[in-house]
A and B are shown apart, each in its own frame.
Chain A
Amino acid sequence: QKEVEQNSGPLSVPEGAIASLNCTYSDRGSQSFFWYRQYSGKSPELIMSIYSNGDKEDGRFTAQLNKASQYVSLLIRDSQPSDSATYLCAVRDGQNFVFGPGTRLSVLP
């Protein structure tokens, strides 16, 4: 059974700090990776996709992928209270997607 693992948190960081969210996956053949943000009571919202080893930056967000270590991370720079949410890591497995349990991030003013 293919698995995606994340620390459930909560991860608490002060406003303005860098939040680092981590994810590991079991299938070495996985090719595509996604980060979703889910506010309480809302649906998952795609914030980053990454397919190649290395870093991908989009505004305050940076996704990092290391296929050899089967590790993908999300960095949020200059964290804001509005970033407080659960962050879901997902890996595409052919037709389907495998989601991690999510990491709850709390940004303290």
Chain B
Amino acid sequence: NAGVTQTPKFQVLKTGQSMTLQCAQDMNHNSMYWYRQDPGMGLRLIYYSASEGTTDKGEVPNGYNVSRLNKREFSLRLESAAPSQTSVYFCASSKSPGTGYQPQHFGDGTRLSIL
């Protein structure tokens, strides 16, 4: 029972490089989310997708883009990485609000360092 799978688990980039973080869920959830978590800080929402084909900005979207490839997959792209984007990135998924007040389920995270 995989749940939410994120790849890669670790990555080191140089300033200005680009990369895509991958996320896939097998729980048939409509909603997917990307968060970042910095040391000693809470979770901050970067982008979310309420359903396939839709995406919306969260609290800290600058410097990121997302793609909801299909119902299962939601990717996060850093076009030109900056040291301020060094963080742990979590992908999460949940059922839509209309199906009841369901929780989010998280992937294991991607630890990203920008040098």
Contact = CB atoms under 8 A, between A and B. Distances in A.
Interface residues of A, number: 21
Interface residues of B, number: 22
Interface of B is mostly: loop
B103 to A, nearest CB: 5
A95 B43 contact: no
B82 interface: no
A43 B43 contact: no
A43 B101 contact: no
Interface of A: 31-32, 34, 42-46, 49, 51, 88, 90, 92, 94-97, 99-102
Given A44-B90, A99-B43, 17 more contacts: A34-B103, A42-B108, A43-B90, A43-B107, A43-B108, A44-B43, A44-B106, A46-B105, A88-B42, A88-B43, A92-B97, A94-B97, A95-B31, A95-B48, A96-B33, A97-B104, A99-B42
Interface of B: 31, 33, 41-43, 45, 48, 50, 58, 90, 94, 96-97, 101-109
